[in-house]
A = this chain, B = another copy of it.
């Protein structure tokens, strides 16, 4: 049984590592934060790493950029490697803290280009962030991209709030939808893999 895997790595793709030195040290404006997320989400699928999704972790008040993540399911070969899991894990790795809400840390915020899927809903809930900002939460993501997002409860946002996590919805919404729309056009042209619970969709 010595051939069982004992570790796996989630890593940013080379193009994003190349971008890091040019990113701002901090981003205070919520619109600017989401613009960066939308831009990275758009580049991500074009580069072939995974779905059109990106996420940031920032210090909520100072805006200090703590981590950047994109969906690297295809690049890493790991199905949990959504943008949120990647960004949250990188923030925790960088800070050496599994709880981003620890008493000795400033409040952290997760910024994503749409409402998280059911997996990342939980990942955001357990990571210790104090706030979540998303571009939108409607059916557009599933309708346009074909991704199954899973069964969230109707009170999903209230469930965050009950755990001390503020939710802000609707920043740069149209720009987020435009990314999904372009992804869809490419998918219809046969240029990308849409992966799902039941494997790649035809």
A residues near B (Cβ < 8 Å) are 1-12, 17, 20-25, 65-68, 73-74, 76-80, 85, 88-94, 96-103, 117-123, 125-128, 148, 150-153, 155-156, 159, 163-165, 195-200
Contact = CB atoms under 8 A, between A and B. Distances in A.
A92 B65 contact: no
Given A10-B7, A12-B7, A123 B79 contact: yes
A150 B122 contact: yes
Contacts of A119: 119-123, 125-126
A12 B20 contact: no
11 contacts: A1-B20, A2-B20, A3-B94, A4-B20, A99-B199, A101-B198, A122-B150, A125-B148, A126-B150, A128-B198, A151-B156
B4 A68 contact: yes
